[in-house]
Structure 1
């Protein structure tokens, strides 16, 4: 077993070239491989998605690529691909591919959340929890963590404000792989650097992510046969609450119109739609008061994803109660309850309280990255106490979906985004 562990600590040497040039028609994009001097040794990416996959990171060094009159990213925004030794404040087990792609996806979401201090915790390139708050970064961070305490274990934290000592002490109380922030106070670094394997990354541009909004990049997917699919990156059209479209449909001459969200509901929908940009499709997000409550990712059917996300909310709610009362995870409590009658009684009470509270879902809003093909998913969400929904619209059954929210008591609000937010 000790030999197997070595593979996670072994550097996988890469033979990728120092330079890379992409020729797109008559335009070119030049890249340079990124390496860092760590401990007196020049090192690139630790490895790829798995320890036996060599990998390399490339930075754009020259480009003026544009398409249809739209200028694409030209390397002017110094984010993940531009990391220097100064940015790697503590390299820990220096970064591999998944560490940096998690940071990158955190940036992908945070670019739409610049109005407030915000924090996102990621695992396997999906958010475990996200929050923003007028009360400051500490509130955002703790609420993001509370959204899914279990999944956050070993995750990556990305924030958009200077990280202070209170945040650092909170982070040090759990296990994380990476923390990235625009800056750190000296007191925060004293706390964080005590965790020698923690990768601490300072990216000043995290404080000004509004500059990258709306500027696309070439999104390249390699196929098994060596071919490529190239697309322009997703650009979120919902940047303010006023960008939502009324949920309206016409069927057999009858117009169906949903209730408009309240100001609070609209703000939560705006927040959740920003987070949706970083979630693997098909996906559903429940959110309330500027924080995610439950995130469902990567399902094959829409109603199934709603069911999964509801189930996750119940599980996370029960786990929160178990940890508050016993300092145990829900799974640990279930195991110990088999041999302890007192704990078994407490577990039964926790599960009953979770059912009564409907997993903390009443009062939440819901966003869906794709339209609802049938009303079944909406009916499930409404039954859990959802008060407002945002979804792309465009289904042939939009009128039926609107009927579902209009027939709810109290009436549930719905808006359309006018765009899909799939991420594969």
Structure 2
């Protein structure tokens, strides 16, 4: 392969026309001949540039509503011919094929079409065929051909051409080829994923995963691990779509924890009142509702003041100055909310290390999306846990039924437990968590830790007794034995919510009755590993 190779002839056919005219003017100024199609050609002519239609090169007009326009030997021969191969050069001469040294193509907006809720036939019409074929051809022949698929590569391309007297280096062409193949791969992934959903194929034989780099990260979970953050193209509100107003770049752990916090707080609709979730190491250390956002934050903070230090705070309503003033009292890594008013932004501006993110909306907890987890040699794929229950789904199994107040707290605790690592135990009282036990190998251990957390809350906030007394408790999965339930009773809980389904349910129910507990079963578990 030769290193430097000149660009004399370029084919331009883009859906996203951002920066197109400026790029074409730069190329024309260097003496590059411009070929183009359809709207791209019209736009360049309107800008006063000389453009040759691809139809004039191929001798065939665009046909079949534009489905056939670049699929022709005079296009693909010009992209694929090896300039140092005598046979290829002769074939070009014999058939009147001129080389194409630069291809600038981006594809029909398929994902945007799907996101708008277009019908099946419209989505099909927005699957690009000629574009991917040209991109792959040019990328394969990167020994001689440059292929540009991203607007952000326009500037660097022109800079390189100017620096090398109208030529590009092999290193640049290789880099552009890699980007191009990733681009067509991601495009095909989007199409195949959509089609699987459209035809109701839950477990397609092949599944493709793709993402676009959002940012390189300094390191992963630990400094010795390299890492990066990729967006998958979905419009789900959250850390990937948020606007960062201040603070240094998010780290790998920041992104992971912020996602966990925002997904949790999104369970609480703003119309039902303010809510706050504080996350540490992907687990909630405090979640609460309140009469105001400030109150919700303070109640969540009181659950575990020690763990909240250096945590992630998620809010379900616009952050106001009064709440920001309270949050600013301790070190916080990230605050994420649907919005923030000017007063809040001004207060946080004094906290240079705090990152403030706004999303404009909450994530819809009912939306069916896929989650992925890599294992050695493969990938586990499942629906996101969007399981929800309401009062009508609950089955009272004890002699005593929960009071109205207990029932409200049971549903609150159950919502939080869904976002706690298994084994999960959550104590809640008056719409706020008062003790959380997470990620233990034994449910009894989680119960014990949650009770200890509640006792520490009493000590930190000056309460006369543990707030677990008079609370309710949620368990993300059934109690295999009565011991976990009795630990909650000993801590002071008065009502329990759990899935049920254990071989010893009768034993657990009997123990609840003997302890005077009210217990409801959900018939649904929320393992979170």
Contact kept, 8 Å, 1:268 with 1:365, in 2: the verdict is: yes
Contact kept, 8 Å, 1:110 with 1:160, in 2: the verdict is: yes
1:141 aligned residue:
297
Contact kept, 8 Å, 2:220 with 2:226, in 1: the verdict is: yes
Instruction: Report the CA distance between 1:383 and its aligned residue.
Output: 2.1
Contact kept, 8 Å, 1:29 with 1:60, in 2: the verdict is: no
Does residue 219 (structure 1) correspond to residue 371 (structure 2)? The answer is: yes
Q: For the residues of structure 2 that align with 1:80 and 1:29, how far apart are their CA atoms? A: 23
Q: For the residues of structure 2 that align with 1:54 and 1:313, how far apart are their CA atoms? A: 38
For structure 2, list consecutive stretches of 5 or more residues without a partner in the other structure: 1-174, 194-203
Alignment of structure 1 residues 74-153 onto 2, 5 Å: 75-83=234-242, 87-90=243-246, 92-114=247-269, 115-133=272-290, 135-153=291-309
Instruction: Report the CA distance between 1:47 and its aligned residue.
Output: 2.9
Does residue 236 (structure 1) correspond to residue 387 (structure 2)? The answer is: yes
- Could you say which structure has the higher helix fraction? 2
TM-score (norm 2): 0.60
SS at match of 1:44: strand
2:212 aligned residue:
33
Contact kept, 8 Å, 1:118 with 1:132, in 2: the verdict is: yes
2:524 aligned residue:
419
1:53 aligned residue:
225
Q: For the residues of structure 2 that align with 1:260 and 1:34, how far apart are their CA atoms? A: 52
Alignment of structure 1 residues 150-169 onto 2, 5 Å: 150-169=306-325
For structure 1, list consecutive stretches of 5 or more residues without a partner in the other structure: 1-14, 36-42, 62-74, 248-256, 322-352
Contact kept, 8 Å, 2:241 with 2:359, in 1: the verdict is: no
Computed over aligned residues only, the root mean square deviation of the Cα atoms, in angstroms, reads: 2.2
Q: For the residues of structure 2 that align with 1:180 and 1:230, how far apart are their CA atoms? A: 27
**Residue by residue, what CA displacement relative to the aligned partner does 1:96-126 show, whole Å, maximum 9, x if unpaired?**
1211121211222223211221000101000
TM-score (norm 1): 0.74
1:198 aligned residue:
354
SS at match of 1:180: strand
Q: Which has the higher contact order (CA 8 A, sep 6+)?
A: 1
User: Residues 48 and 180 from structure 1, CA distance in 2 versus in 1: closer, same or farther, beyond 3 angstroms?
Assistant: same
Instruction: Report the CA distance between 1:27 and its aligned residue.
Output: 7.7
Q: For the residues of structure 1 that align with 2:251 and 2:342, how far apart are their CA atoms? A: 26
Q: For the residues of structure 2 that align with 1:310 and 1:45, how far apart are their CA atoms? A: 38
Q: For the residues of structure 2 that align with 1:398 and 1:28, how far apart are their CA atoms? A: 40
- Could you say which structure has the higher strand fraction? 1
Contact kept, 8 Å, 2:410 with 2:497, in 1: the verdict is: yes
Q: For the residues of structure 2 that align with 1:203 and 1:34, how far apart are their CA atoms? A: 19
Most deviating of 17-26 and 277-286: 17-26
Contact kept, 8 Å, 1:77 with 1:205, in 2: the verdict is: no
1:11 aligned residue:
none
SS at match of 1:150: helix
SS at match of 1:47: coil
Task: Give the total of aligned pairs.
Answer: 334
Does residue 390 (structure 1) correspond to residue 465 (structure 2)? The answer is: no
